[in-house]
Amino acid sequence: MFDFLWRKKTASFTGGIILDGHKHVSKIITPPIAKELVYPLFLASNRYAKSCVKIGDYVKKGQVIATPDSPLSTPIHAASSGTITAIEKRLIAHPSGLAENCIILQTDGLETVLEAEPCLDYQQQNREFLREKIHLAGIVGLGGAAFPTAKKLNNSQPIHTLIINAAECEPYISCDESLAIRSAKNIIQGTLIIQHILQTARCIIAIEDSKPEAYAALLSAIKTTDIQIQKVPSIYPAGGEKQLIQAITGQKIPAQKLIFESGFICQNIATSFAIYQAIILGMPLTERVITVTGAGIKQAQNLQAKIGTPIKDLVQACQGYTNHAEQLIMGGPMMGIALASDDIAIIKTSNCLLIEPLKQADTQPCIRCGDCAEVCPSELLPQQLYWYSRSQEWDNCTDYQLADCIECGCCDVVCPSKIPLVQAFRIAKAEITQKHRQTEQAALAKERFENQQHRKLRIAQEKAQQLAKRKAAIEKMKAAAAQRKLN
């Protein structure tokens, strides 16, 4: 009833915070080709690729080097020509900091390209064909989740609105913005392809109001009435799918529901560009724009980087580190992951490398100010969740909808006591998952044990029955023999 009192005038989604942009939009520079490109075969949770090259093989740029090994995997393509020198464990860009099997490609600098198969008449092609082409180009959501785009476009329910996400709400990151300025026309082409595949009538490109140049470029590139462009307030996390939908349509997607169940689909603007390249140019996804920035880097800029390039080579292309280089973050400062080494190679979802001084703060006790609940875009009670996760009351965590936490970090940033809330929530989520898994495993073991017990019992019973039968038969024979004797 009193909800209108809390609604902020500027914000059009619940919660969120205004952050300093720190964005230095620059022209996109192409760095020199790295000597070595590294491709992890581990793609994301439960998604692996299988190497289809051998050590010593020569591969061309755009050639498939690994094929999907699980239902939600995508192929990997070589980003440059050269020789496969090893398939070995290397540190990968993952919060675990673990090493996984990687294909190592030694580049020859010649950029021998595999012949492309452009498809200019995509409007004449059926959706299945285009989806397959997108799948074979190895395209995943470039916004961060790395979900295979072909799978996402295979909607079982009708989609009424396609949203192209150009919000880029995290500070420091400007790769999408500079891509929009450079390739607005191609992005629109890619968007039209997605629209053709999905057969949606409405398409909205959503962009933060702090990016006038990119907005103007996209606006002038739109030559059709099928695509609209709409500004959203620069409030973090405006780029979250549900927040973005609420910001542009006013419609609130319930916590447990997926956005496509309400007829929406979101695609990142960089994904749109990759789809243009895959269909119109016939080029697989082997390069992306990445922002290299932060106080720890000499020249912050956006690079057209080959996927698989080790971070140190990109740093080199930005004139190297300053003496503030104390931590290396892949992604933005709010939701990125800290990497242990600059030997790690960038992957398809790497949108930013942030090199910053370390900022540590002492945690103080919670004073229950409630600011965290105010900024939570998922309308959770972080403070309450924190108490429950600290006292390991996992059931209560689930009751208070821990699963809806998008780990955006807003609560951390406003917390006066500097409590690492997101970290606590991630641990709580992991504990709950683990508990769940253990219960499932125990149930399986129990079932198998009980089946075995039943089987043993049944066999024993059958044996006893047979024995009894045989005994009875012998008795019968004996009796018959005795009878004969008598006669």
Residues 364-393 that bind other proteins (CB under 8 A): 364-371, 373, 379-381, 383-384
Taking CB under 8 A as the rule, does residue 395 contact other proteins? Answer: no
Nearest distance from C-beta of residue 413 to other proteins, angstroms: 6
Q: Which is nearer to other proteins, 188 or 354 (CB)?
A: 354
Give the range of 161-169, 216-224, 251-259, 438-446 binding other proteins by CB under 8 A: 438-446
Is residue 140 close enough to count as binding other proteins by CB under 8 A?
Answer: no
Verify binding: residue 429, other proteins, rule CB under 8 A.
yes
Query: Is residue 42 close enough to count as binding other proteins by CB under 8 A?
Result: yes
The yes or no reply on residue 359 touching other proteins (CB under 8 A) is: yes
Alpha helix positions (H), 18-95: none
Within 294-353, which residues bind other proteins (CB under 8 A)? 312, 321, 325-329, 331, 333-342
Per-residue tokens: 337: 């992951």
Each residue 164-193 as x (binds other proteins by CB under 8 A) or -, in order, gives: -------x----------------------
Q: What per-residue string of b and e applies to 242-262 under the rule 16 or more CB within 10 Å gives b? A: bbbbbbbbeeebeeeeebbeb
217 or 380: CB nearest other proteins: 380
Neighbour count for residue 319 (Cβ, 10 Å): 12
Written as one string, the DSSP assignment of 367-428 is: ----HHHHH-TT---HHHHHHHHHTT-HHHHHHTTGGG-----HHHHH-TT---HHHHHHHH
Contact pick of 358, 403, 467, 481 for other proteins (by CB under 8 A):
358
CB of 240 to other proteins, least distance (A): 14
What is the number of alpha carbons within 13 Å of residue 394 lying toward its C-beta?
A: 11
Determine if 138 is a binding residue for other proteins (CB under 8 A): no
Binds other proteins (CB under 8 A): choice among 110, 255, 361, 464: 361
Amino acid at 301: Q
Q: Does the footprint of other proteins cover residue 114 (CB under 8 A)?
A: no
Question: In the complex, what is the shortest distance from the CB of residue 431 to other proteins, in angstroms, rounded to a whole number?
Answer: 6
Query: Exposure of 108 by Cβ count < 10 A (0-12 exposed, 13-18 middle, 19+ buried)?
Result: middle
Q: How distant, in Å, are the alpha carbons of 252, 258, 344, 401 from that of 255?
A: 9, 8, 35, 9
Give residues 58-97 in contact with other proteins (rule: CB under 8 A). Answer: 92, 94-97
As measured in angstroms, the least distance from the Cβ of 421 to other proteins is 9
How many whole angstroms separate alpha carbon 85 and alpha carbon 378?
A: 47
Q: How many residues does the chain have?
A: 487
Token pair 């074979």 is found at: 136
**Contacting residue, 80, 141, 356, 388, with other proteins by CB under 8 A:** 356
Q: How far is the CB of 340 from other proteins (least distance, A)?
A: 5
